Structure 1
Amino acid sequence: MNTNEQMVIQDGPATALSRLMEQIQPELSQGQLTELQELFSRAVAMGVSQAFGRAARLEEMRRKIMLTPTEAAELIGVPAKTLSNWRSAGRGPDVVKHGGKVLYPVKDLEKWTEANRVKNL
């Protein structure tokens, strides 16, 4: 981890940006500094947006009755291939086959997740 990354973790992104900009200010014009601030602000906003977007997507999936294997894998946090391997081995959450399609009932995914919870010792 480099010094700038440590500064972001310790002080937070806004403080780290201010300190970094103080260090490089003599080397940059005011226009370049403004552009750098705008780029940083957009990057932070995108990160927050992506985090909220994923949370919203997961909440939307929880409201459905049935999920595709890809959706089910994302919801429980495993690769779709792992879910497929479990299904082939007769393990993992229960599935419903409907017209040749494999679907996962959300309620069964929730039950399976709770049944496989491990308490820390």
Structure 2
Amino acid sequence: MADSAKILWDEKEVANRLGVAESTVRNWRAQGRGPQSIKLPTGAVRYRPEDVVRWVDSGYRRAG
């Protein structure tokens, strides 16, 4: 699992990559609008980079 964990991003990494606040990533997840996330047995939320890229490429929707 250690090797797999290295390729997962936390909310901070996703926020940095997308240029948004961590709270935005959390809000998107809570609203079901963000990239697919994984909840680990520890309760930590992580993202696979390929899921984030796929979400961006799909033309994610912003509120407003």
2:32 equivalent to 1:95: no
Tell me: higher relative CO, structure 1 or 2? Use CA pairs within 8 A at least 6 residues apart.
Answer: 2
CA contact (8 A) 1:65 1:107 kept: no
Aligned to 1:59: none
The one of 2, 5, 10 equivalent to 1:68 is: 10
Q: Distance in 2 between matches of 1:78 and 1:106?
A: 16
Q: Distance in 1 between matches of 2:44 and 2:50?
A: 18
Q: Distance in 1 between matches of 2:57 and 2:27?
A: 20
Q: Distance in 2 between matches of 1:101 and 1:94?
A: 14
Q: Runs (4+) of structure 1 moved beyond 6 Å?
A: none
Number of residue-to-residue matches in the alignment? 54
Aligned to 2:55: 112
CA contact (8 A) 1:93 1:109 kept: yes
1:77 deviation in Å?
A: 1.4
**Aligned-partner SS, 2:47:** strand
For the pair shown, the structure with the greater C-alpha radius of gyration is 1
1:111 deviation in Å?
A: 0.5
Kindly report the root-mean-square deviation, in angstroms, between the aligned alpha carbons of the 2 structures: 1.4
TM-score under structure 1 length normalisation: 0.42
Higher helix share: 1
1:6-85 alignment, distance < 5 Å? 65-85=7-27
Contiguous gaps of at least 5 residues in structure 2: 1-5
Q: Distance in 1 between matches of 2:56 and 2:28?
A: 14
Contiguous gaps of at least 5 residues in structure 1: 1-63
